[in-house]
Amino acid sequence: MDSKQSLKPQWFQILLAVADHDLHGLGIMKEVLEHTDGQMRLWPAMLYGSLKKMVELGLVEEREGPVGPGAETDRRRFYGITAEGRASLSDEVARLTRYVQVAEKKDVLRGTVGS
Amino acid sequence: MRYPVLRLAYRALLCLIPRELRSTHAKEMERFFAETLDLETRRRGWYGYPFVLWGVLVDIVVCAVSVRLGSRVSSRTEVGGTKRRDRPGVGFLQDLYFSIRSLRKSLGFTLIATLTLALGIGSSIAIFSVVDVVLLRPLPFPEPENLYTVWETNLERGRPQSWVAPPTFVDWREQATSFAELSAISSGSATLTGGFQPEKISAVWASPNVFTLLGVRMHEGGVFPPEAERPGGGNWVVVSFGFWQRWFGEDSDAIGRTLTLDEKAFTVVGVLPRQFRFPEEADLWLPLTFESDQLSEGMRGARYLEVIARVRPDVTIERARAEMAAIAEVLGEEHSNNSGWSVSLVGLHENMVSEFRRSLTLLLLATGLVLLIACVNVVNLVLARASEHRRESAVRIALGATRWCLLRQSLVFHNLLALLGGLIGVVLASWATAPLIRIAPAELPRIEDVAIDTRIVLACLTLSVLVGSVLSLVSMWSSVESDPGLTLRSSQIGGPPVRHRVRRMLIVAEVGLSLVLLIGAGLLTRSFFRLQLVDPGFSTTGITTVSLSLPSSRYASGDQQTNLYREVVERLSERGEIQSIGATTNLPLSGSAMRFGFGIDDQPDAALNEQLSAEYHAVTPGYFRTMGIAMRNGRALDWRDDANEGPVVIINEAMARRFWPNEDPLGKRITVVSQGGPTSREIVGVVADVRHAGMATQPHIEVYVPLSQDPWAFVTFVVRATETTAVGQLFSGELAALDAALPIGVVLPIERHVSRWLAPLRFQALLVGLFATTALALAALGVYGVISYLVSLRANEIGVRMALGADTRHVFGSVVGQGVWLAGIGTLWGVATALWFTRHLSTLLFEVSPTDPFVFVSAPFLVLSVAVLACFLPARRAVAVDPVDALREV
């Protein structure tokens, strides 16, 4: 993945969701919904389409889910972040942070964060 | 596995996404879909379904289009733009264009199909919007599921839900730990002075914590102050939004101002929000507290408070019920008036809507049937159209079109058709809302909130897409053969016989369904007319009723009250326009009733082995004459029957029959309990039975005592005048001459009381009747369509027969017979279904059996007659076939 190129918003949110723990599809959807205050809802085709592409690009990988009762018949795909995914994510965060710093310098945030 | 049908539909939709994704992730996505449905329906109620269905639909379409577009762009760059054009997603616009052209080309088909669908979808949506607001939408309070109504209950005495006595309420409040708040409510009215003339305003007395319990945020000001909790803790009032607009002109300075109510000054502390409507639309809310005399042992029998509770979030309802049952048991041991009484908790919302649940579910079912019949009709049309297109489809497949291409086009075409129908349906439903609210009974909770909003529109579009998808599958099944070559070689018109059989079966189903609806409507209408024929025991025309209540400050004694009533009656009787006048404490059909215990003086209670109670009325002379209640025996009341004379009573026939079946009750004595305690009274007359509680309720045992011997501070005057419209003015004029500060109450013709009582029944009978008529018309259209089609298929055969000398009458009969045969099977099926279904109607019927022979004979007769009429036109066309033309085409 070209580190200069910005991540698609839903890819960024997916990477952010799996950054600290492995999650299955519904878990990712719930976490993204929560992070974005309900602004971004990932529907199945978009989510799994993105995940498939991200696996191909090596940003995330499929992992073994936790083993529990009924796990044999009820196995879900869990996804975890790869080293490359983490690098892309931190590049993206750094890029966004730079924008925030510029905005702070220009005093754009006044009035929107209650200051 | 939950949602099997929706999962299946979702799996079918997944065919649209690229195979690579589908093959590896389909199972996971399906599971994701089901879990999202679970999550969203828990969060949003029924609206979760359209929300998720639309979400996944858009998701899949976007995925399909973007992937295909992506691959198209990349393949163009790779192979120089030689990509085939009929890729799914890309061809969508082309399909849309083609579909619009086809719809315009077959305008007749489009018009009939969309209007039929619009009728079905529109009526379903209109009724669903009512059901949504009344039954499904939670109450507009925070955590409404924790709100309950608390009843005292005594099954032995046949009182499953009784209001609560003040001392019992106070005990509950002190002892129960399961509730965050517990409030008592009592409705009434107050006289407001300070305007042009005194006004009677609807008021509710409620425990001061009621707004905290409900979680209401005031529009202006706040809730009652803490000192309002104790008796004598000040006079406070919370006003409704409407009252605030009217009286204070939306002035925010209203808080802190005073209102003079029943000649006492009350300080306004808050204004309720605009949409606050609980329990009814009262204008004033006053704090309810209890003086010590209201908490005496004797008051434990005076059950008149409505009690509501908010169960603590950490307490289960079972625990709350168990605690209340234990408290009731202890109270029953300590106080004789509580003995035998327990407690029941019913959800506040359920309590408000339970009486309408059955009737609204019935209406929803009726519209569901209309929608089903409409769909069957359109399926029939689609089948006819598809069989015309069989050859076209076969040619296209032979020329290389994939089945997917045909399915896609069919999906676009039929969904467009259904969406068009759905949109017209939404328009029809929004037109229907206003008349629907007008004819709906006013008691239907929150009925004025009914509107076609975005959620309803979304639900309607979802329904349309479902219908459209079913139609396209039917059409595909009917028009695409497994071997297109066979279709091209075959000369058979209209497809193989199996499809004709399906169309016949659809007709049978349609006739059956419409018959079920017709029988249901017939039973309800018959019951409605039966009720109108019931003799209520009083005259239901030409009487005007005027309510009046006297403020306790100036009319404290019974003598003062009696004198005023007597003067009003006497002054008005002298007016030439007034033919007769009287007054009563409880007007029939008004919903007000008093019930008191009584004993028969020479028959001890023990001998009767039961506690006796009777409907109690205090009336003035002239009441029976004005109301047209017949005197059966003895004399009417007289103004001389006052406090100085011996106490007298008039009983009704039901009571005379019960206790003195073979002797004259006149001169016997009964002891009647009332506000002044037990009084022994002499029976001086017997009057005809009156159905006070409604036409469908058998008359109870009733006693009438002279108002001058037992005066009450509230009465309703009944006036018969030559000019009924002038009564209100006449009455207020005479009343003002006697006491200018007394407000006149509600003036209503008696017809209004009757029609208000009949309103829910009329609403139900009218709508079910309307839906049944629509269903019958749709079924007739269906029969006509199929028989015409079958005639067109048989044109050659008929031509040959006629050429060989067949009789015209014979041909005519065979066509009609074919239709009648189908309708006959449908009728049999419909009657069988109706026999099963109408059992559930029995509680809605009055003096009509759920298997009423008249309805069960006349409805099938009507359906068969309509079917014969529907076959008539195609039959005439059949006999008009020219044998030569027909033979030439063979």
Which tens digit of pLDDT belongs to each residue from B315-340? 999 999 999 999 999 998 888 778 88
CB contact under 8 A, A48 and B29: yes
B33 contacts A49? CB cut-off 8 A? no
Res B69: pLDDT: 59
pLDDT at A5: 64
At residue A58, the pLDDT reads 93
State whether residue A38 sits within 8 Å of chain B by CB. no
Please report, rounded to a whole number, the percentage of residues in chain B having pLDDT higher than 90.
19
Given CB atoms, is A95 within the 8 Å cutoff of chain B? no
Q: How far apart are CA B713 and CA A109, in angstroms?
A: 68
Taking residues B302-307, what's their average pLDDT?
A: 84
Neighbours of B230 (CB within 10 A): 12
Residue A49 touches partner B, C-beta closer than 8 Å: yes
Residues of A in contact with B24 (CB under 8 A): 52
Query: How many CB contacts within 8 angstroms connect chain A with chain B?
Result: 47
Q: Is A53 on the interface with B (CB under 8 A)?
A: no
With bands split at pLDDT 50, 70 and 90, how would you rate the model's confidence at A98?
A: very high
**Contact yes or no for A44 and B35 at CB 8 A:** no
Q: What per-residue confidence (pLDDT) applies to A15?
A: 95
Question: Which chain A residues are within 8 Å of B58, Cβ to Cβ?
Answer: 43
CB contact under 8 Å between B32 and A44, yes or no, is yes
The answer, yes or no, to whether residue B346 has pLDDT greater than 60, is: yes
pLDDT at B400: 75
pLDDT tens-digit profile of B74-95? 444 433 333 444 444 456 777 8
Instruction: Bin B154: left if φ > 0, else alpha if -120 < ψ < 50, else beta.
Output: beta
- Selected for mutation to probe chain B from A10, A23, A24, A26 (highest B CB count within 10 Å) is A26
Residue B296: C-alpha distances to residues A109, B69, B233, B672, B784 (Å): 67, 83, 21, 22, 75
Mutate to test the interface with A, among B59, B68, B74 (most CBs of A within 10 A): B59
Of the listed ranges B283-297, B448-462, B583-597, B653-667, the one predicted with least confidence: B583-597
Q: Around Cβ A37, how many Cβ atoms within 10 Å?
A: 7
Contact A49 B17 (CB under 8 A): yes
Residue B817: predicted pLDDT: 85
**Cβ separation B60–A48 shorter than 8 A:** no
CA distance B153 to B161: 5
CB B21 within 8 A of CB B70: no
Q: Do A52 and B21 touch (CB under 8 A)?
A: yes
Alpha helices, H only, B480-598 = 484-489, 497-533, 558-574
Q: Is A48 on the interface with B (CB under 8 A)?
A: yes
Which residue in B39, B42, B292 sits closest to B167, CA to CA? B292
Do B59 and A77 count as a contact with CB atoms less than 8 A apart? no
Closest CA–CA distance from residue B378 to any residue of chain A (Å): 33
The pLDDT assigned to B83 comes to 41
**Does residue A43 sit at the B interface (CB-CB below 8 Å)?**
yes
Contact A45 B29 (CB under 8 A): yes
Dihedral pair phi/psi, residue B702, rounded to 5°: -135, 145
Residues of B in contact with A77 (CB under 8 A): 28
How confident is the model over B247-293, as pLDDT tens digits?
888 887 888 888 888 778 899 999 998 888 776 678 899 999 888 87
pLDDT classification of B700: cutoffs 50, 70, 90: confident
A43·B56 Cβ contact <8 A? yes
Whether B1 has its CB under 8 Å from any CB of chain A: the answer is no
DSSP code of residue B278? -
| Residue A52: HSE in the Cβ half-sphere, 13 Å Cα cutoff | 19
Query: Is B638's pLDDT higher than 80?
Result: yes
Pick from A88-97, B179-188, B524-533, B786-795: least confident? B786-795
Distance of alpha carbon B503 from alpha carbon B376, whole angstroms = 9
> Which B residues, 21 through 50, put their C-beta within 8 Å of a C-beta on chain A?
21, 24-25, 28-29, 31-33, 35-36
- Report the complex ipTM: 0.89
Q: Give the pLDDT confidence of B169-197 residue by residue, as tens digits.
A: 999 999 999 999 999 998 877 878 777 66
Average pLDDT, chain B: 83
Peptide bond into B198 cis (omega under 30): no
Closest CA to B860 of B818, B814, B817, B829: B829
Q: Residue B493 — very low, low, confident or very high, per pLDDT cuts 50/70/90?
A: low
Mark residue B560 as left, alpha or beta (left: phi above 0; alpha: psi -120 to 50; beta: remaining): alpha
Residue given tokens 């029959």 in the structure block: B657
A43: chain B residues, CB-CB within 8 Å: 55-56, 58-59
B21 with A76: Cβ contact below 8 A: no
Closest-CA distance, B212 to chain A, in angstroms, reads 30
Say yes or no: B69 contacts chain A, CB-CB below 8 A.
no
pLDDT at B280: 63
Tell me, yes or no, if A77 comes closer than 8 A to chain B by beta carbon. yes
- For B59, the closest of A26, A43, A77 (CB atoms) is A43
**Among residues B504, B390, B521, which one has the least CA distance to residue B782?**
B504
Residue B538's alpha-carbon distances to B217, B249, B688, in angstroms, are 47, 44, 9
**Where does residue B237 rank: exposed (0-12), middle (13-18), buried (19+ CB within 10 A)?**
buried
How high is the pLDDT of residue A106? 87
Nearest-Cα distance to chain B for A75, in Å, is: 10
CA distance A87 to A76: 26
- Asked if B59 has any chain A CB less than 8 Å from its own CB, the reply is yes
Residue of A nearest to B52 (CA): A43
Number of H helices, E strands in chain B: 25, 22
Does residue B514 contact residue B779 with C-beta atoms inside 8 Å? yes
Q: Is the pLDDT of residue A19 over 90?
A: yes
Distance, in Å, from the CA atom of B660 to the CA atom of B653, rounded to the nearest integer, reads 10
In the predicted model, is pLDDT for residue B492 greater than 70? no
Return the residue of B nearest to A52 by Cα.
Answer: B21
Q: What is the dihedral of CA B732, B733, B739, B741, to 10 degrees?
A: 60
Chain A contact probe: residue of B16, B25, B60 with most A CBs at under 10 A: B25
Other CB atoms within a 10 A radius of the CB of residue B161 amount to 12
| Closest Cα in chain B to A42 | B59
> Which amino acid does the sequence have at B581?
I
CB atoms B59 and A45 under 8 Å? yes
Q: What is the pLDDT of residues B381-396, one digit of tens each?
A: 888 777 777 777 777 7
The answer to whether residue B159 scores a pLDDT higher than 90 is no
* Strands annotated E in B234-383: 236-239, 258-261, 264-271, 284-287, 306-311, 342-347
Which among A44, A52, A77 has the least Cβ separation from residue B56? A44
Quote the pLDDT of residue B193.
Answer: 79
| DSSP code at position B140 | S
Distance of CA A12 to the CA centre of its chain: 4
Decide if A73 touches B, using CB distance below 8 A: no
Structure tokens at B695: 């036409």
- Min Cα separation A53/chain B (Å): 10
Residue B89 CA neighbour count, 13 Å, CB half: 19
The whole-angstrom distance between B39's CA and the closest CA on chain A is 10
CB contact under 8 A, A26 and B36: yes
- Chain B residues with CB-CB distance to A47 below 8 A: 32
Beta-sheet pairing, B199-206 with B284-287:
parallel
| Whether the Cβ atoms of residue B653 and residue B698 lie closer than 8 Å to each other | no
State the average pLDDT over residues B868-883.
80
Which of B265-274, B389-398, B719-728, B861-870 shows the highest mean pLDDT?
Answer: B265-274
The beta-carbon neighbor of A48 closest among B28, B35, B55 is B28
CB contact under 8 A, A52 and B25: yes
Nearest to B213, CA basis, from B296, B319, B152, B139:
B139
3-class DSSP state for residue B597?
A: strand
The residue in chain B having the minimum alpha-carbon distance to the alpha carbon of residue A77 is B28
Q: Does A52 touch chain B (CB under 8 A)?
A: yes
pLDDT digits (tens, 9 = 90+) for A29-78: 999 999 898 889 999 999 999 999 999 999 999 988 776 554 444 668 89
In this structure, the strands spanning B264-271 and B236-239 are parallel
pLDDT value, residue B717: 92
Residues of B in contact with A50 (CB under 8 A): none
- Residue in A25, A26, A46 closest to B63 by CB: A46
Give dist(CA B251, CA B224) in Å, integer.
20
Name the closest residue on chain A to residue B40, using Cα atoms.
A30
Residue percentage of chain B with pLDDT more than 70:
92
Q: Which of B127-141, B477-491, B552-566 has the lowest mean pLDDT?
A: B477-491
B55·A25 Cβ contact <8 A: no
Residue B529: phi and psi, rounded to 5, are -70, -35
Of B28, B55, B63, the CB nearest to A25: B28
Cβ-nearest to B59 among A25, A44, A77: A44
pLDDT in tens, B660-692: 888 899 998 988 877 777 888 999 999 999 988
